[in-house]
Structure 1
Amino acid sequence: MESIAHLKWRYAVKKFDSKRLLPNEKVEGLKHAFNLTATSYGLQPIKMVVLQNKEIQKKLVSYSYGQRQVGNASHVLVICIEKKIDTAFIKQYFNLVKEVRRTDEAILKPFEDTLVQDFGKKETEEIKIWATNQAYLALGNLLSYCALEEIDSCPMEGFVPGDYDKILGLEKMGLTSVLVLPVGYRSQNDPFSKMEKVRKNIEESIIEIFD
């Protein structure tokens, strides 16, 4: 139940302590938590920008609908998706599998061919939606990690991806931003830190099916 206590401690921070920075080991932990996220087929069509630059952060506030958490947070994590998921991208994944697991190509080839064929039939928008779903998996993983490590955070969908992409140079990397997660430490003056969580009763949100 200790993990549940940590999840209860977590909330969407409205005001960060701008003078407190996360130590390097916490930031490294966030990187690993992101990279260890489960993704569909294991393809990892996502990348994460770790931003710790107050000048750029404050510039991004204007493209975050005035949400000051972006400017005041210790770091801002920007979860991005790959714009191009093609045969080369898929083959790169299977080459990594062979390198890491020493799996024989004859075993992997049928699955590889199936994915290449399947993604070849998908429309661009369909692939974008699929990749964005993987970004949400990463966000959930990061939020849980933050709670366990007592890193404060504020998940955000409210921002202008096109402007983020330009400012962070994501377009040149073939990426587009889909989610933002400012992280750091809550301000003692954030009134939301003292508020009770508002959630449905367990009986209302859980359906149990037994033999």
Structure 2
Amino acid sequence: MSIIEKLNWRYATKKFNDTKKLSVEQLDTLKEAFNLTALSYGLQTLKMVIVEDKSKREKLVGMSYGQRQVADSSHLLVLCIQNEIDENDVDEHFETIKSIRNTPDAILSPFKTQLKSSINEMTVTKKVDWATRQAYIALGNLMTVCAVEGIDSCPMEGFVPKDLDTELGLEALGLSSVLLLPVGFRAEDDMFADFKKVRKQVSKTVIEL
């Protein structure tokens, strides 16, 4: 299939086949895709928590307003933001640049100073908003990769983050959940799989100047 055909094949899966699991290779692809997501400044202030344990995911269904996809999918991907974003993240990022590209400090220092200044000027609320927007970029990237790889997914905002964070022990990791993405394979009797896409015509959503 072409990429457009694959995006048409994709839908927010309502019912997963709870007996079919992602392969190790498919899961590794999603991990790498998450890690390769294009993020602001190149800072990776997101984490993806993968929950495979069925009993753990059953406990999360009630925190997700009864949405069975959380438990019936192959794996649950939890996109999280760091509770603290500061100069340490900037230092780590530029050390990584140096180790991979061997870029001299003389070139990196001005950019590092400017980025630290930008981070320090942000309020806590602004940092949370900024990081959360990055999580949506990662979500979109993962959904597209899933479609390309023939993996079903269902993006979710509908859950109680604080309860889920407590259940998964995310506070101890310095993380807060912002989005869920159950992944796996659609059930044969999910009637939504055959519904035609409902979208406006491209001419009504794209403006060419």
TM-score of the aligned structures, taking structure 2 as reference length:
0.98
Q: What per-residue deviation string (whole Å, max 9, x for no partner) do you get for residues 103-126 of structure 1?
A: 001100011101111111110000
Counterpart residue number, 1:70? 70
Correspondence list, 1:11-90, <5 A: 11-90=11-90
The one-letter amino acid paired with 2:164 is Y
Residue 161 of structure 2 corresponds to residue 161 of structure 1? yes
What is the CA–CA distance in structure 1 between the aligned matches of 2:113 and 2:165, rounded to whole Å?
A: 33
TM-fit CA distance, 1:164: 1.2
Q: CA RMSD in A?
A: 0.8
Unaligned runs of 5+ in 2: none
Instruction: Give the superposition deviation at 1:203.
Output: 0.8
Deviations 1:158-196 (CA, angstroms, capped at 9, x unpaired): 011111111111101111000000000000110100110
User: 2:121 and 2:182 mapped to 1: Cα distance?
Assistant: 37
Q: Which amino acid aligns with 2:189?
A: N
Q: State the percentage of identical aligned residues.
A: 51
**Whole-Å separation in 2 of the counterparts to 1:123 and 1:101:** 32
**Cα distance in 2 between the residues matched to 1:118 and 1:21:** 43
- In structure 2, C-alpha distance between the alignment counterparts of 1:17 and 1:151, rounded to whole Å: 12
Partner letter of residue 151 of structure 1? I
Question: Which residue is 1:92 aligned to?
Answer: 92
Q: Distance in 1 between matches of 2:163 and 2:112?
A: 36
The alpha carbon displacement at 1:22 in A equals 0.7
* Partner amino acid, structure 1, of 2:98: K
What is the aligned length?
Answer: 209
User: What CA distance in whole angstroms lies between the structure 1 residues aligned with 2:105 and 2:168?
Assistant: 38
1:200-211 to 2 correspondences below 5 Å: 200-209=200-209
Q: Give the distance between the partners of 1:97 and 1:162, measured in 2 at CA.
A: 34
Supply the distance in 2 between the matched residues of 1:10 and 1:44 (Cα, whole angstroms): 27
| Counterparts of 2:194 and 2:6, CA distance in 1 | 15
Separation of aligned partners in 2, 1:15 and 1:194: 13
What pairs with 1:156-195 in structure 2 (closer than 5 Å)?
Answer: 156-195=156-195
In structure 1, distance between residues paired with 2:77 and 2:136:
13
Distance 2:24 2:106 in 1: 43
Residue of structure 1 in register with 2:124 after alignment: 124
Structure 1 runs of 4+ aligned residues shifted over 6 Å read none
CA–CA separation in structure 2 for the residues paired with 1:184 and 1:193: 14
Distance in 2 separating the partners of 1:12 and 1:179: 14
Aligned to 1:110: 110
Q: Distance in 2 between matches of 1:63 and 1:177?
A: 12
Deviation for aligned residue 1:40 = 0.2
Determine the structure 2 residue equivalent to 1:133. Answer: 133
Q: Cα deviation per residue 1:120-166 (whole Å; 9 max; x = unaligned)?
A: 11100000000001100000000000000010000000011111111
